[in-house]
Structure 1
Amino acid sequence: MVKRKKFRARIWYVALVCLLVLAVIGCSQSASPVAQGGTQPESGGEPKLGGTITIGLSAEPDTLDIHKTNMSASEVVTRLIGGALLSMDPETKEVKPYLAESYSISDDQKTWTFKIRSGITFHDGTSLTAASFKATYERAMAPETASPGAGPLLGVIESISAPDEKTLILQLKEPSAPLLSYLIQPNVTQPLSMAAIEQYGKEYGRNPVGVGPWKFESWKTGESITLVRNEAYKWAEPFAKVQGPPMPDKLVIKFIKDAQTTIAALESGSIDIASISAKEAKEYRSNGKFEVLEATKLGVNFIQMNLENEILQDLRVRQALNMALNKKAIIQADQQGEGESAFGPLPRKMFGYDPAVETYGYPFNVEEAKKLLEDAGWKTGAGGIREKDGKPLSLQLLTAMNSQGIPLIQSMLKDIGVEIKVQNAELGSVLDLSAKGQFDLNVLGYTDLDPDILYLFMHSSQIGGLNHSHIQNPQLDALLEKSRTVVDPVQRQQIFMEIQKIAVEQAYWIPYSEEKTFLAVNKRVHGVKLDAMYGIMLGESWMNQ
């Protein structure tokens, strides 16, 4: 199997809940998968050409070279600059050609052939051909590139050929069910201009060139990135209502780290679009200057448990921790009740989700949690904290999250006799400490298109990467491996049902919520949509200046 250790591109920490949604779930020029209710109402007047839309972003990208970054902030920009071989129809969920005009997969599922659309050019004027994709993917996969995101995703490819300008052939090492989902993500698999890479060398990440609706113009370090309309753009996804260039002249993406400063910028009109918290969403819904868009993220918030800790090696303890949490109360504290309880590792809207998890998942039951700990030999000691063999039932909770939910979790676990010592750290430190196994419990979350994300979190080959729990379960490993090579959706669904049941029965995680995200949009900007996976969609946007 293809191993993808230390691949972090698709994980986000719950510490980012109150930061800009764009930094978490990206941007798209047109409609995209699993769109939910996040659409501005039809407004009066005809769409107008011109104007500048200004977006607040909570972090500055490290680079705009998609092969050199795993920052979600970078994805915000690179999605707008590029395109992908395929796309997904937001209505039918059908995968359709985008920069390819057609594609086919061989009977053994190992030879994927794409016919590339004619007439597409990069922002530097060079033509897009099959050789462009070949060179791009080979660069991503090359050891010297050391790509933290795109490279590992394409690792299932054995070889790439481009026998002519329009034909791209991917020869796989083995059938790959998740590959299709990677080829619809421009932030991961968009073609790059090799001419631009040769011209700019190591500075390409500050001078990106793609084929998308927006062209890179400038980057003011510590301040903003500016994109301009690609006048030549006429190759949008087939289902996009706007097939030509965008209507606004420019997009300015401002870096504003502080949430209160972001709110002040919205109020003053210096930015048009920004993420807001659930509490702020309630207030902004009655603010006549703004529309509030919302979507449920295609992911789960959860607490991960380190099985290297002797206390947590006891299944009864892990089950008790699951039963101790009142998920609805946590959602109320963190998200003003704007979210849903999670009972397993996959969200409701994702392929592979098994609704039965809501019946066999752990309910909130304090008395049963206490009984499990008693059965495991943990007796109530001084101050209500349980003890066993003279040692207290004390665990460290590692988090970059700063919200009311953390002390609430701490209090709920104390109610069953578990002492929780909270260790706050910067996001990067949380990630590094978790990968090194230097934690007992940590607070995490993810968004993704495909349930293959569970391979990264739970396969034993990913210990040292995202398998922070140090899960080593041969049965689970075998199912996760099989899920990657079985392409029949019915069979694959059954496999993930088994995966979820094992993960829940073994109580590797404490899943607790599916979170909503909110976007405030100044009413002078029209046609904006919010998508559960891709975030803000600007394909139909225009300014009323």
Structure 2
Amino acid sequence: MGIRKRGPFPIVSIVLSCFVLLAIVSGCDAPATKPGTDEGKKDVNIANQKGGTVTVAISSEPDTLDVHKSTALSTEGVALNLGAALLYRDPQTNEVKPHLAESYSISDDGKTWTFRIRKGVTFHDGTLLTAQAYKRTFERAMSPEIAPKGVGMVLGIIKSIKTTDDRTLILELNEPSATLLTYFTSASWMQPLSVDAVQKSGGQYGRNPVGVGPWKMESWKSGDSITLIQNDAYRWATPFFKNQGPPRPDKLVLKLIRNPQTAVAALESGTIDIADLPAKDAKKFKNNNRFTVLEQIKRGLGLFVELNLKNEILQDKNVRKALQMAVKKEAIVQSHLQGEGIVADGPLPANLFGYDQSIAQYAYKYNPEEAMKLLEEAGWKLNAQGIREKAGKPLHLELLSMEAWSQPAQLMQGMFKAIGVDVKIITLEGSAVDQLTAAGTFDLALDGYVADDPDILFPFMHSSQIGGMNRSAIHDKTIDSLLEKGQVTMKSDDRAKIYEDLQKRVVEEAFWIPIYTEKRFVVVNNRVQGLMLDPSGLKLYQDVWVK
């Protein structure tokens, strides 16, 4: 659920195996603090630091806040604040522990999951959270008319849902699942809904969601902002937060600012407090004592190229390999990210479970001479204009891109031209790119994702997802088999080996062109303290307070 696909995937959950606390942190180092800030000083008493408004820039507006009907990162970033999860992952031990479920158990065969729901949790409308509420939530998400739109596809592994009393929820699975626990740590996609509120909303629930989280809806001004207010009944934060009660600020305003330069100006003027910025813009704030810059390596691919295998030209493996070898990824990282990124060799980033440490040995490297040789072997000959053609047809492809990726798109256009491939760039809004790729009306498309589990590749690459998130139309029996095994294999070592084999297959077939894993930069006005980032880059406001 996320750029996570410019928009979507039902895989991104909040796995706090490491996090960033108003600090400059790379990878999964222990949380650090910036000298001169109050974080890290044990004698600082912030219990009474209440009130104020925190204003955060968001670069895209959610399509809906009904978490069953979206997989967009823009939806996830807002919905996270409105909900809570059955489970959470301890940031110190990486262990999954109970949250809205005060306890849980899994049968020896891995198919029966029993949750004991916590007492005293209420929805924003005052109704009590019960096992029945969770049952109705999951049943709604899994309903045929809703499931294809969002997280329902993840819950499809559930065979039946039972409640024996108000607090006991029993899930019977069709087969064991290695990933379901991770999904159940998502306070956004897996949050319980007030189904009564859904029914009373008259089809407008996506504009007025009712959850159990620390914040609740006040207003949504389309094209401008979403304002959340403190849920003063909130008493069930996860234990790693210092603040176990309601949020300290009165309001959280999520201000729509699409242009990074506009966000820079808004930070400097004090109009906003927090913004994600590109590396070149974030650097301006690093030596400014009014601000703290948080750095984090994103868990996912910041940029890759999807190749549409429905295109006859791209069905030729030699052509796909040639396109891989034409791209000088280091140049893109240096130019577009000012060097603040890591070249990607395969479909998984180095900081994700299952990453193959030996991938550099077999990944395709920049080699334009070999790329041209492959195109020659495939029958594509250079014409007088320097463009390759075959049977009188020029090697012409269109590349879909968002404005934010215009620079790497232009760099790749030149790299492809150097081997005789004519590429036209089509720049559109993210939603328009999604519509075209979903319809299969594209040749190449720039994309990116964030994720906490290698199972993210299932919706991207399993043949059952063609017409859904498998925009490349990959249909490969070996890949299907490995993805299926990865979902049900419970032993970590065995599961890691499955994903190593999967990466070898994906790289060999050249189905994607992985470009880079990127750093994320979040600039925070120092009047705001206590902001944390989870490994997926989502902002956590539970410990935030305003000076």
SS at the partner of 1:217? strand
Alignment counterpart, residue 461 of structure 2, candidates 450, 458, 463: 458
Shift of 1:286: 2.0
**Match in the other structure for 1:162:** 163
Distance 1:27 1:287 in 2: 33
Shift of 1:534: 4.2
**Match in the other structure for 2:503:** 500
Letter in 2 for 1:256: I
Q: 1:423 to 1:296 in 2, by over 3 A?
A: same
For residues 299-448 of structure 1, the aligned pairs below 5 Å read 299-300=300-301, 301-401=303-403, 402-448=405-451
Letter in 2 for 1:41: K
Q: Which moved more, 1:426-435 or 1:498-507?
A: 426-435
Q: 1:27 to 1:178 in 2, by over 3 A?
A: closer
Q: 1:25 to 1:264 in 2, by over 3 A?
A: farther
Structure 1: runs of 5 or more not aligned: 1-8, 17-22
1:32 matched to 2:33: no
**Match in the other structure for 1:91:** 92
Shift of 1:384: 2.3
> Is the Cα–Cα contact under 8 Å of residues 400 and 428 in structure 2 kept in the other structure?
yes
- Which runs of 4 or more aligned residues in structure 1 lie more than 4 Å from their structure 2 counterparts after TM superposition? 23-28, 36-40
Alignment counterpart, residue 41 of structure 1, candidates 31, 34, 37: 34
Distance 1:24 1:166 in 2: 26
Distance 2:480 2:100 in 1: 35
Letter in 2 for 1:140: A
Shift of 1:256: 2.4
Letter in 1 for 2:524: V
Q: Which moved more, 1:387-396 or 1:295-304?
A: 387-396
Distance 1:531 1:210 in 2: 21
Q: 1:378 to 1:207 in 2, by over 3 A?
A: closer
Q: Which moved more, 1:337-346 or 1:289-298?
A: 289-298
> Is the Cα–Cα contact under 8 Å of residues 87 and 97 in structure 2 kept in the other structure?
yes
Shift of 1:242: 2.1
> Is the Cα–Cα contact under 8 Å of residues 40 and 293 in structure 1 kept in the other structure?
no
Distance 2:258 2:281 in 1: 17
> Is the Cα–Cα contact under 8 Å of residues 527 and 546 in structure 2 kept in the other structure?
yes
Q: TM-score, normalization: structure 2?
A: 0.91
Q: Which moved more, 1:87-96 or 1:183-192?
A: 87-96
Shift of 1:33: 3.9
1:250 matched to 2:247: no
> Is the Cα–Cα contact under 8 Å of residues 304 and 444 in structure 1 kept in the other structure?
yes
**Match in the other structure for 1:186:** 187
Q: 1:365 to 1:441 in 2, by over 3 A?
A: same
Shift of 1:13: 4.9
Shift of 1:258: 3.2
Shift of 1:27: 11
Q: 1:203 to 1:430 in 2, by over 3 A?
A: closer
Question: Deviations 1:260-288 (Å, cap 9, x if unpaired)?
Answer: 32222211111111111111011111222
Letter in 2 for 1:454: L
Distance 1:361 1:185 in 2: 33
Distance 2:51 2:347 in 1: 44
Alignment counterpart, residue 517 of structure 2, candidates 488, 504, 514: 514
**Match in the other structure for 1:119:** 120
**Match in the other structure for 2:490:** 487
Letter in 2 for 1:216: M
Q: 1:534 to 1:86 in 2, by over 3 A?
A: farther
SS at the partner of 1:55? strand
> Is the Cα–Cα contact under 8 Å of residues 27 and 536 in structure 1 kept in the other structure?
no
Q: Which moved more, 1:405-414 or 1:255-264?
A: 255-264
SS at the partner of 2:524? strand
Q: 1:529 to 1:377 in 2, by over 3 A?
A: same
Shift of 1:160: 0.6
> Is the Cα–Cα contact under 8 Å of residues 2 and 76 in structure 2 kept in the other structure?
no
Q: 1:535 to 1:27 in 2, by over 3 A?
A: farther
1:540 matched to 2:543: yes
Distance 1:139 1:352 in 2: 32
Distance 1:528 1:24 in 2: 25
> Is the Cα–Cα contact under 8 Å of residues 303 and 441 in structure 1 kept in the other structure?
yes
> Is the Cα–Cα contact under 8 Å of residues 297 and 518 in structure 2 kept in the other structure?
yes
Q: 1:307 to 1:341 in 2, by over 3 A?
A: same
Distance 2:539 2:523 in 1: 11
Distance 1:252 1:219 in 2: 10
**Match in the other structure for 1:19:** none
Shift of 1:222: 3.3
Distance 1:256 1:100 in 2: 37
Distance 1:123 1:531 in 2: 25
Q: Which moved more, 1:37-46 or 1:269-278?
A: 37-46
**Match in the other structure for 1:228:** 229
Shift of 1:141: 1.2
Q: 1:25 to 1:77 in 2, by over 3 A?
A: farther
Q: 1:13 to 1:169 in 2, by over 3 A?
A: closer
Shift of 1:310: 2.5
Q: 1:200 to 1:437 in 2, by over 3 A?
A: closer
> Is the Cα–Cα contact under 8 Å of residues 17 and 93 in structure 2 kept in the other structure?
no
Distance 1:73 1:440 in 2: 26
1:527 matched to 2:520: no
> Is the Cα–Cα contact under 8 Å of residues 25 and 533 in structure 1 kept in the other structure?
no
Letter in 1 for 2:103: S
Question: Deviations 1:126-165 (Å, cap 9, x if unpaired)?
Answer: 2212111111111111224456112222111111111012
Q: 1:26 to 1:246 in 2, by over 3 A?
A: farther
Q: 1:25 to 1:538 in 2, by over 3 A?
A: farther
Distance 1:420 1:40 in 2: 46
Q: 1:205 to 1:393 in 2, by over 3 A?
A: closer
Shift of 1:85: 0.3
Distance 1:330 1:291 in 2: 27
Distance 1:127 1:534 in 2: 31
Shift of 1:191: 0.8
RMSD (CA atoms): 2.3
Shift of 1:248: 1.5
Distance 2:173 2:3 in 1: 26
SS at the partner of 1:346? coil
Distance 2:137 2:10 in 1: 25
Distance 1:34 1:149 in 2: 27
Distance 1:148 1:24 in 2: 10
> Is the Cα–Cα contact under 8 Å of residues 294 and 530 in structure 1 kept in the other structure?
no
Distance 1:419 1:149 in 2: 36
Distance 1:68 1:475 in 2: 31
> Is the Cα–Cα contact under 8 Å of residues 102 and 116 in structure 2 kept in the other structure?
yes
Q: Which moved more, 1:494-503 or 1:369-378?
A: 369-378
Letter in 1 for 2:54: I
Structure 2: runs of 5 or more not aligned: 26-31, 39-43
Shift of 1:88: 1.2
- Paired residues, number: 527
Distance 1:424 1:225 in 2: 27
**Match in the other structure for 2:216:** 215
Q: Percent identity?
A: 52
Q: 1:428 to 1:135 in 2, by over 3 A?
A: same
Distance 2:45 2:13 in 1: 24
